[in-house]
């Protein structure tokens, strides 16, 4: 990290056209691209170009590696998608542009939902422009498949098992799921939340050592492994958008995924409450497991500051908030959004998130709950347990507890 800081402080980006910003991000699917294009178009209307730098992996992990490499190579982009705890990590190295002036001029403190405002701040300064809030614990389902078979939307994991068995007998995959590490652990964190919000916060926010020996963690791990029988065979590693296609086409009935899946379903021509529906992942209806899409400005080119501040201000404009989030599947970061422009899924998501801190649960997988290094280690262990049925539950609990004890918490 010291080498990175020294290299970054001395770096200057590759010369770009005047008033053009290179933006590094991992938004890859059709709906994500459409949302990005909308922001780029609105930025262009302010005489600032958007030079796209999309990381092909479609992963925050991959994007982080690319960004660090480019910083060391003295080829930093002007803007990068940095979410959650990663904002703090880069701000601590003095590599991000402070957006305090933009935030003050735009009255962000009063404009933003409090949980969003705290996400983009570090050490009293603002370091990111928020675009939208995603609900992670969302169960998407093909309405026509469930209706044809006379099946209810499962509200608990016990109900899910009953529905899944009937779907499987009808020749339909109950749950679209990839074996990709972050997707497996996204499903797992919703299962932990179903066992109790106190357990979730103890494991992933406070990292209480005792929480890792809690029998409810064993229950969540066993449920993750048992649910494999409802995922179709073989369980392949594929992109999340491929699972969305299976649900859209009726090959699979359900999918637990962040509500970016809604944007993709809509992009494929499906309608909310007609072709598909959204509900809370089983057992989690009272909670909003969330992450926040944000853009941070790299502080390596002083001459780009005016353009960077224009982009930051644009992100919070009511029109961009309404239009971007409608396409992306997320909800606005504003205290008073245009509710009339939201579909039923979005209104329910925003209402729950706006209800206060008790309902708001930061996602582990999506970099909101804990440090990046801890997140990566937990994802690795959960994925290993998911793939290998011979690993005892107690061993995985012990290894997760070791992770919690080993890594020092940072603020």
Same domain for 260 and 186: yes
Same domain for 277 and 307: no
| Structural domain contains residue 368 | no
Q: Which residue has the tokens 């997760």?
A: 400
User: Taking 80 as the threshold, does the pLDDT of residue 384 lie above it?
Assistant: yes
Q: Are 215 and 110 in contact (CB under 8 A)?
A: no
Same domain for 22 and 11: yes
Same domain for 299 and 284: no
Structural domain boundaries enclosing 237: 138-289
Same domain for 144 and 94: no
Give the residue among 253, 195, 227, 239 at the shortest CA–CA distance from 386: 227
| Structural domain contains residue 380 | no
Same domain for 273 and 175: yes
In DSSP notation, 41-90 reads: HHHHTTT-EEEEEE-TT--HHHHHHHHHHHHHTT---SEEE--THHHHHH
> Side-chain half-sphere of 363: how many Cα atoms within 13 Å?
28
Supply 257's token pair: 């995924």
Q: State how far the Cα of 78 lies from the Cα of 55, in Å rounded to an integer.
A: 15
**354-373 CB burial, b ≥16 within 10 A, e <16:** beeeebbbbbbbbbbbbbbe
Q: Are 211 and 156 in contact (CB under 8 A)?
A: no
| Final residue of a structural domain among 332, 358, 384 | 358
| Structural domain contains residue 375 | no
Question: Which helix H or strand E contains 178, and what residues bound it?
Answer: none
| Structural domain contains residue 401 | no
Q: Are 115 and 360 in contact (CB under 8 A)?
A: yes
Same domain for 165 and 240: yes
| Structural domain contains residue 300 | yes
Q: Decide: helix, strand or coil at residue 179.
A: coil
Asked if omega into 328 is within 30° of 0 (cis), the reply is: no
User: Taking 60 as the threshold, does the pLDDT of residue 388 lie above it?
Assistant: yes
CATH number at residue 186: 3.40.190.10
Q: State how far the Cα of 297 lies from the Cα of 375, in Å rounded to an integer.
A: 24
**Higher pLDDT residue, 312 or 75?**
312
| Structural domain contains residue 47 | yes
Number of domains in the chain: 2
Same domain for 213 and 328: no
Q: Average pLDDT for residues 76-80, to the nearest whole number?
A: 92
Same domain for 281 and 230: yes
Supply 36's token pair: 């990005």
- Catalogue the E-assigned strands of 208-303: 252-257, 276-280, 288-297
| Final residue of a structural domain among 240, 265, 289 | 289
User: Taking 70 as the threshold, does the pLDDT of residue 175 lie above it?
Assistant: yes
| Structural domain contains residue 156 | yes
The pLDDT assigned to 10 comes to 38
* Adjacent-strand bridge partners of 293: 132
Alpha helices in 124-178 (DSSP H): 143-149, 157-169
At 15, is the pLDDT very low, low, confident or very high (cuts 50, 70, 90)?
very low
Same domain for 227 and 120: no
| Residue-wise pLDDT tens digits, 326-370 | 999 999 999 999 998 899 999 999 999 999 999 999 999 999 999
Same domain for 212 and 155: yes
Q: Are 100 and 125 in contact (CB under 8 A)?
A: yes
Q: Are 134 and 84 in contact (CB under 8 A)?
A: no
| Residue-wise pLDDT tens digits, 184-232 | 999 999 999 999 999 999 999 999 989 999 999 999 999 999 999 999 8
Q: Residue 75 burial (CB < 10 Å; 0-12/13-18/19+)?
A: middle
Q: How many residues are listed for the chain in this entry?
A: 411
Averaged confidence pLDDT in the chain? 92
Same domain for 229 and 322: no
| Structural domain contains residue 373 | no
Q: Residue 39 burial (CB < 10 Å; 0-12/13-18/19+)?
A: buried
The span from the first CA to the last CA of the chain, in angstroms, equals: 17
User: Taking 60 as the threshold, does the pLDDT of residue 411 lie above it?
Assistant: no
| Final residue of a structural domain among 289, 319, 337 | 289
The pLDDT assigned to 324 comes to 97
The pLDDT assigned to 75 comes to 82
At 1, is the pLDDT very low, low, confident or very high (cuts 50, 70, 90)?
very low
């Amino acid at each position: 990290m010291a080498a990175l800081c020294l290299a970054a402080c001395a770096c200057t980006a590759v010369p770009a056209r005047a008033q053009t910003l290179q933006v590094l991000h991992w938004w890859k699917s059709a709906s994500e691209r459409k949302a990005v294009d909308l922001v780029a178009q609105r930025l262009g209307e302010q005489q600032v170009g958007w030079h796209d730098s999309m990381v092909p992996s479609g992963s925050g992990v991959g994007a982080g590696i690319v960004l660090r490499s480019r910083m060391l190579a003295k080829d930093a982009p002007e803007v990068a998608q940095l979410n959650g705890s990663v904002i703090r990590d880069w701000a601590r190295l003095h590599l991000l542009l402070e957006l305090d002036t933009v935030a003050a001029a735009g009255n962000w403190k009063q404009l933003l939902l409090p949980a969003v405002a705290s996400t983009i701040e570090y050490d009293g300064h603002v370091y990111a422009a928020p675009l939208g809030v995603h609900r992670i614990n969302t169960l998407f389902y093909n309405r026509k498949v469930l209706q044809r078979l006379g099946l209810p939307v499962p509200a608990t994991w016990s109900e899910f098992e009953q529905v899944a068995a009937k779907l499987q007998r009808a020749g339909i995959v109950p749950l679209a799921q990839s074996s990709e590490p972050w997707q497996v652990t996204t499903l797992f964190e919703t299962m932990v939340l179903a066992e109790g919000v106190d357990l979730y916060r103890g494991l992933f926010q406070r990292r209480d050592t005792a929480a890792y020996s809690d029998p409810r963690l064993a229950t969540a791990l066993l449920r993750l492994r048992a649910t494999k029988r409802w995922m179709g065979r073989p369980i392949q590693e594929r992109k999340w958008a491929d699972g969305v296609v299976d649900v859209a086409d009726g090959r699979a009935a359900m999918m637990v995924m962040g509500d970016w899946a809604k944007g993709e379903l809509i992009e494929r021509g499906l309608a909310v409450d007609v072709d598909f529906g959204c509900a809370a992942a089983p057992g989690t209806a009272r909670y909003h497991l969330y992450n926040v899409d944000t853009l941070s400005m790299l502080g390596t080119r002083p001459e780009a500051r005016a353009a960077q501040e224009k982009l930051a201000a644009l992100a919070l404009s009511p029109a961009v908030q309404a239009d971007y989030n409608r396409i992306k599947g997320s909800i606005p970061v504003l205290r008073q959004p245009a509710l009339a422009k939201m579909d039923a899924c979005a209104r329910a998501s925003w209402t729950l998130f706006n209800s206060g801190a008790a309902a708001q649960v930061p996602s582990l997988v999506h970099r909101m709950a804990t440090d990046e290094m801890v997140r990566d280690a937990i994802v690795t262990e959960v994925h290993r347990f998911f793939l290998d049925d011979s690993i005892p539950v107690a061993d995985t609990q012990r290894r997760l507890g070791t992770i919690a004890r080993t890594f020092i918490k940072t603020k």
